[in-house]
Amino acid sequence: MSKLHNLKPGSSQSQTRKRVGRGNGSSGTYAGRGRDGQNSRSGGGVRRGFEGGQTPLFKKLGKLKGFKAFKPTVFNIVNLYTLEEKFNDGDTVDQNTLTEKGLIDMKKPTKLLAKGELKKKLTITVDKASKTAVKAVESAGGSVNILEAK
C-alpha cells in the first residue's frame, strides 16, 4: 500500500529536464548560460552555417544555372558505324534486333546518333534520332521511323 512517505516517481517522470533561466534559484545567478554574450541572452545564438564572421561556405560557392532533372531519361546510344558493322543491306533495325545482337538494354529508350558513316540501306525504328543521323540514313537510301513518346 502506497503512503506519502514511500511514494516513488514513475519511470517516465524519473528524468526531468533542467528549467533554465528562472531566477536565482535556478542553478545560480547566470542559470548555466555563462556571464555575458550572445548565447546568454534569450533568443540568442547564431544561425545555421555561421562561421564567426568569416565568409561562410554557402556564399563562397557559386550559384548553378539551369535545371537538373530528378529522374533523367537515360538513352541507349546507337551510332551509324555500329549499324554499318552489325547489319546487312536491307535489314530492319529496331529494339528487338538491337537487343538480339547485344547492342542495347531493352528497358531503356534508344537514340540514333550520327557518329561514323552508313552505306547500307536500312529501315530503322528508334525512340529518338539526331537530324544529322536521319539525313545520313536517308542519303544511303534507308528510312528512319521515330516512335512517339509514351
| Closest among 86, 103, 83 to 95, alpha carbons compared | 103
Q: What is the pLDDT of residue 43?
A: 87
Q: What is the pLDDT of residue 130?
A: 94
Mean pLDDT, the chain, rounded, equals: 87
Cell 542495347 found at: 104
- Mean pLDDT for 53-57 is 93
Give me the residue spans of the domains in the chain: 76-146
The CB-side HSE value for 76 (13 A sphere, CA atoms) comes to: 17
Q: Which fold has domain 76-146?
A: Ribosomal Protein L15; Chain: K; domain 2 (3.100.10)
Checking if the pLDDT of 150 tops 70, the result is no
pLDDT digits (tens, 9 = 90+) for 77-122: 999 999 999 999 988 999 999 999 999 998 999 999 999 999 999 9
d(CA 85, CA 16): 77
d(CA 119, CA 71): 37
**3-class secondary structure per residue, 15-42:** CCCCCCCCCCCCCCCCCCCCCCCHHHCC
d(CA 127, CA 76): 10
d(CA 145, CA 150): 15
